């Protein structure tokens, strides 16, 4: 599986250090320029507008579920970011997709991963109705306590 590399710090322009063409970058929402505010490099949205979008979670600039500002992904996934939709069916199910990459239904359909911890354990999951041995044991213990 190809994982996206996490890059830190390089996502924003630095108002105190914009050179050449970067000076002409501006926020596509409020029009602030790169010499005034930090602007998200790929999306051309300033810090303030990004923050506001993240708070509102309208699904136009920021993901409806987690508030991540990724306009390009939102168009593709109906207002959600890539991480909040199921890799298989495309349905948004943030709680599960953040942990497992797929929605609950697909996880069950796949039948190979534990529904609690997400561990791949085909034989165990089959035996314990969707749980790995460890989680099945934990569940049983809970009942007794």
What residue ranges bind Zn ion (CB under 5 A)? Answer: 27, 29-30, 46, 49, 63, 65-66, 68, 81, 84, 86, 88-89, 91, 103, 106, 114, 116-117, 119, 132, 135
- CA 14 to chain CA centroid, Å, is 25
Beta carbon of residue 37, minimum distance to Zn ion (angstroms, whole number): 7
Beta carbon of residue 65, minimum distance to Zn ion (angstroms, whole number): 5
Residues 81-120 as b/e (b if ≥16 CB within 10 A, e otherwise) read: bbbbbbeeeebbbbebbeebbbbeebbeeeeebbbeebee
Beta carbon of residue 1, minimum distance to Zn ion (angstroms, whole number): 16
Q: Any idea which residue has 């165990």 for tokens?
A: 124
Beta carbons of 17 and 7 less than 8 angstroms apart? no
> Quick one: 19 or 27, whose CB is closer to Zn ion?
27
> Quick one: 34 or 132, whose CB is closer to Zn ion?
132
Beta carbon of residue 140, minimum distance to Zn ion (angstroms, whole number): 13
> Quick one: 20 or 66, whose CB is closer to Zn ion?
66
d(CA 143, CA 3): 38
Q: Computed over its alpha carbons, how large is the radius of gyration of the chain? A: 21
> Quick one: 17 or 95, whose CB is closer to Zn ion?
95
């Amino acid at each position: 599986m190809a994982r996206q590399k996490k890059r830190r710090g390089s996502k924003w322009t630095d108002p105190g250090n914009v050179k050449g063409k970067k000076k002409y970058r501006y926020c596509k929402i409020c029009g602030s320029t790169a010499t005034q505010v930090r602007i998200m490099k790929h999306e051309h949205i300033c810090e303030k507008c990004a923050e506001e979008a993240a708070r509102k979670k309208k699904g136009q600039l920021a993901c409806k579920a987690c508030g991540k500002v990724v306009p390009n992904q939102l168009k593709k996934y109906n207002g959600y970011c890539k991480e909040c939709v199921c890799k298989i069916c495309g349905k948004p199910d943030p709680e599960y997709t953040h942990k497992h990459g797929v929605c609950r239904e697909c996880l069950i359909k796949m039948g190979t991963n534990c529904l609690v911890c997400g561990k791949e354990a085909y034989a165990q999951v089959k035996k314990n109705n969707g749980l790995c041995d460890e989680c099945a044991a934990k569940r049983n213990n809970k009942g007794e306590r």
